Protein backbone atom coordinates (compact mmCIF):
# COMPACT_ATOMS: atom_id res chain seq x y z
CA UNK A 1 0.00 0.00 0.00
CA UNK A 2 2.71 2.39 -1.07
CA UNK A 3 1.50 5.93 -0.69
CA UNK A 4 4.51 8.04 -1.50
CA UNK A 5 5.85 8.54 -4.99
CA UNK A 6 8.80 10.77 -5.70
CA UNK A 7 9.92 12.41 -8.88
CA UNK A 8 12.31 12.65 -10.46
CA UNK A 9 13.77 9.20 -9.86
CA UNK A 10 17.25 10.61 -10.44
CA UNK A 11 18.62 14.12 -10.53
CA UNK A 12 22.09 15.33 -11.45
CA UNK A 13 23.14 18.92 -10.82
CA UNK A 14 26.25 21.04 -10.39
CA UNK A 15 27.48 22.23 -7.02
CA UNK A 16 25.83 25.49 -6.07
CA UNK A 17 22.61 24.78 -7.95
CA UNK A 18 19.29 24.12 -6.27
CA UNK A 19 17.71 20.66 -6.24
CA UNK A 20 13.96 20.13 -6.14
CA UNK A 21 12.30 16.80 -5.46
CA UNK A 22 8.58 16.13 -5.47
CA UNK A 23 6.46 13.61 -3.61
CA UNK A 24 2.83 12.56 -3.93
CA UNK A 25 0.77 10.46 -1.57
CA UNK A 26 -2.67 8.91 -1.64
CA UNK A 27 -4.51 9.15 1.66
CA UNK A 28 -4.86 11.46 4.66
CA UNK A 29 -1.74 12.08 6.73
CA UNK A 30 -0.65 13.42 10.10
CA UNK A 31 2.63 14.64 8.67
CA UNK A 32 4.97 14.29 5.72
CA UNK A 33 8.65 13.69 6.29
CA UNK A 34 11.82 13.65 4.24
CA UNK A 35 14.75 11.34 4.88
CA UNK A 36 18.21 11.07 3.40
CA UNK A 37 20.10 7.84 2.74
CA UNK A 38 23.75 7.54 1.85
CA UNK A 39 24.63 4.42 -0.10
CA UNK A 40 24.51 1.28 2.03
CA UNK A 41 23.48 3.17 5.15
CA UNK A 42 20.35 3.77 7.18
CA UNK A 43 18.00 6.67 6.66
CA UNK A 44 18.43 9.95 8.48
CA UNK A 45 15.49 12.22 9.25
CA UNK A 46 15.77 15.63 7.60
CA UNK A 47 12.57 17.56 8.11
CA UNK A 48 8.93 17.07 9.05
CA UNK A 49 5.93 19.11 8.03
CA UNK A 50 2.58 18.66 9.72
CA UNK A 51 -0.64 18.34 7.79
CA UNK A 52 -1.77 21.81 8.93
CA UNK A 53 1.46 23.49 7.75
CA UNK A 54 2.21 24.70 4.23
CA UNK A 55 5.92 25.45 4.31
CA UNK A 56 8.86 24.78 6.56
CA UNK A 57 12.54 25.67 6.51
CA UNK A 58 15.60 24.09 8.09
CA UNK A 59 18.98 25.44 7.05
CA UNK A 60 19.30 24.89 3.29
CA UNK A 61 16.14 22.78 3.21
CA UNK A 62 12.71 24.04 2.33
CA UNK A 63 9.71 21.73 2.27
CA UNK A 64 6.21 22.55 1.11
CA UNK A 65 2.99 20.62 1.55
CA UNK A 66 -0.21 20.88 -0.45
CA UNK A 67 -2.80 18.64 1.16
CA UNK A 68 -5.40 19.46 -1.50
CA UNK A 69 -3.09 17.98 -4.14
CA UNK A 70 -1.60 15.41 -1.76
CA UNK A 71 1.88 16.51 -2.72
CA UNK A 72 5.06 17.83 -1.16
CA UNK A 73 8.33 19.19 -2.44
CA UNK A 74 11.82 19.33 -0.98
CA UNK A 75 14.16 22.07 -2.10
CA UNK A 76 17.87 21.92 -1.29
CA UNK A 77 19.51 25.27 -1.96
CA UNK A 78 23.15 25.88 -2.84
CA UNK A 79 23.84 22.16 -3.15
CA UNK A 80 27.17 20.63 -2.21
CA UNK A 81 28.88 17.43 -3.31
CA UNK A 82 28.17 16.08 0.18
CA UNK A 83 24.44 16.31 -0.56
CA UNK A 84 24.80 13.39 -2.96
CA UNK A 85 22.44 10.72 -1.61
CA UNK A 86 18.98 9.26 -2.04
CA UNK A 87 16.08 11.24 -0.63
CA UNK A 88 12.81 9.66 0.45
CA UNK A 89 9.51 11.11 1.45
CA UNK A 90 7.44 9.29 4.07
CA UNK A 91 3.75 9.92 4.51
CA UNK A 92 2.70 9.33 8.10
CA UNK A 93 -0.93 8.44 8.61
CA UNK A 94 -1.65 5.22 10.44
CA UNK A 95 1.92 4.21 9.66
CA UNK A 96 4.93 5.44 7.73
CA UNK A 97 4.74 4.81 3.98
CA UNK A 98 7.81 5.55 1.88
CA UNK A 99 8.17 6.47 -1.76
CA UNK A 100 10.83 4.93 -4.05
CA UNK A 101 13.17 7.89 -3.57
CA UNK A 102 15.12 10.36 -5.68
CA UNK A 103 18.80 9.72 -6.30
CA UNK A 104 20.57 13.06 -6.21
CA UNK A 105 24.05 13.49 -7.62
CA UNK A 106 25.80 16.80 -7.01
CA UNK A 107 28.81 17.20 -9.27
CA UNK A 108 31.78 19.26 -8.06
Partner 1 sequence: DGGITQSPKYLFRKEGQNVTLSCEQNLNHDAMYWYRQDPGQGLRLIYYSQIVNDFQKGDIAEGYSVSREKKESFPLTVTSAQKNPTAFYLCASSVETGAANEKLFFGSGTQLSVL
Q: Is 98 in the site for partner 1 (CB under 8 A)?
A: yes
Q: Assess 59 for contact with partner 1 (CB under 8 A).
A: no
Residue 61 lies near partner 1 (rule: CB under 8 A): no
Q: Which of 42, 59, 82, 108 binds partner 1 (CB under 8 A)?
A: 42
Question: Nearest Cα to 36, choosing from 25, 26, 47?
Answer: 47
- Binding positions for partner 1, rule: CB under 8 A: 1-2, 4, 9, 30-31, 33, 35, 40-45, 48, 50, 88, 90, 92, 95-101
Amino acid sequence: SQQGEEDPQALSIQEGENATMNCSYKTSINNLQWYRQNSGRGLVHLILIRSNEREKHSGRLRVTLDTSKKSSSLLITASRAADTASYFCAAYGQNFVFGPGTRLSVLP
